[in-house]
Amino acid sequence: MRQRREINAFSMSFLDLLSGALAAVIILFIIVPKTDIQSQVADQNITELKSNFFTLDSIIETLKATMPENEIAVLIQTAAEMKSTISSLEDATLTLRNRLSETKQQNEELQNRLSQADRRLRTLIQAEKTASAEKAKAQPTPKKSEPIAKTSQSSQSPTTPQSEPVKEQTKVSGKGDFMFGLNPAFVVLVNWEDEKADVDLYLKSDGRFCDGQNRSTSFGKWIKMPKKFITQPHEAIIQKELKPGTYEVYAHMYKPRNSKTTISGFTAVNPEGGDPMKVDFGQIEISSSPAPYRSGGGTLLGTIELTDKTVRFNKAF
């Protein structure tokens, strides 16, 4: 009597098939970085994994007539798990591709904003050169009785003391240009000359702080201006939408320890449908101290009274 040949479902070729599928999964989850090229590689690996799945499905159909039902059931369950894995990988790849697309759009928007700010800065520089040349030719006599506009404080630089007279107010073209072209609704900025000094800015409201550690709060966002707008060491906090109220402004000198430095800065408001205003802090000397979170820490520069149209700074000392 002819013996029935035993069929081994776990032959070398079958193990090769499963090994290839496992390798594809490892490539998708570990090796593939988040870039456009690797996204294409992920698509190719998913396609290969699908092909292996269809091959496995075909093998199962072939072996149904020769294998015990319990072993067929195990293979069918394995195939179902592979199918679920393929579906999950497709969803993950789609999510990755969407995130890459969003990142590209954000980068393009940022580049556009920086380009616009750069063009505006160049326009202001050219306008100032032209105005200076015309003024040198005309040599007009200053009028002592001429009133200073409401926004005259906005033309001072962050390092100008509050007592220094305002110059060339008419050269500010477009509201908010004194905020380095970024045009937030509200800004607080401090800067200093000593590059070895590490100074932190804090804005306090209702017992909460916005600073370099708590960078995004309901009343402010901590930022650093691009170097093309300000080259001195600085820190700034802005509001994209005005949130009127009373705020406390602190500065904390982290290092060097047991030393002092002089800072200056300003606060400014750029209201919708109103005139921009800017108030300089003047020069303020601060010493190294604990952070304002601790009792007695930090240096209180003053309080800011912000409305939907104006800003006022009350110096602490």
> 66-90: per-residue pLDDT in tens?
777 787 787 788 878 878 888 888 7
Q: Which residue has the higher pLDDT, 142 or 238?
A: 238
* pLDDT at residue 305 tops 90: yes
* pLDDT > 70? residue 149: no
Whole-angstrom distance, CA of residue 133 vs CA of residue 140: 12
Please return the burial class of 62, using the count of CB atoms within 10 Å of its CB with bins 0-12, 13-18 and 19+. exposed
Contact 185, 272 (CB under 8 A): yes
Cross-strand bridge partners of residue 253: 199, 288
Q: Which residues contact 185 (CB under 8 A, 6 or more apart)?
A: 238, 239, 240, 241, 242, 269, 270, 271, 272
CA distances to 11, 55, 67, 177, 277 from 62, rounded to whole Å, are 14, 11, 9, 76, 81
Does residue 237 or residue 172 have the better pLDDT? 237
When mean pLDDT is compared across 15-24, 164-173, 298-307, the lowest value belongs to 164-173
For residues 35 and 45, what is the distance between their CA atoms, to the nearest angstrom?
A: 15
Higher pLDDT, 252 or 28: 252
With cut-offs at 50, 70 and 90, classify the pLDDT of residue 227: confident
Cis peptide before 256 (omega within 30 of 0): yes
Q: In this structure, is the dihedral angle defined by the CA atoms of residues 124, 126, 132 and 137, taken in order, positive or negative?
A: negative
pTM, full prediction: 0.46
* Higher pLDDT, residue 197 or 69: 197
Burial 167-188 (b: 16+ CB within 10 A, else e): eeeeebeeebbbbbbbbbbbbb
d(CA 206, CA 10): 69
Residue pair 245/282 in contact by the 8 Å Cβ criterion: no
How far apart, in Å, are the Cα atoms of 293 and each of 198, 250, 297, 307?
17, 10, 7, 26
Q: In the structure, what pLDDT confidence band is assigned to residue 50 with cuts at 50, 70 and 90? A: confident
User: What average pLDDT is seen over the chain?
Assistant: 75
Widest pairwise Cα distance in the chain: 126
Write down the pLDDT at residue 258.
86
Judge whether residue 106 has pLDDT over 70: yes
Q: Are 53 and 21 a contacting pair, CB within 8 Å? A: yes
pLDDT reported for residue 170: 32
Query: What is the C-alpha separation between 130 and 286, in angstroms, rounded?
Result: 40
pLDDT of residue 302: 95
pLDDT mean over 5-15: 50
Rounded to the nearest angstrom, the gap between the alpha carbon of residue 181 and the centroid of all alpha carbons in its chain is 17
The arithmetic mean of pLDDT across residues 211-219, rounded, is 93
Calculate mean pLDDT across residues 32-38. 53
Which residue matches tokens 């090796």?
Answer: 31
Structure tokens at 303: 């309080």
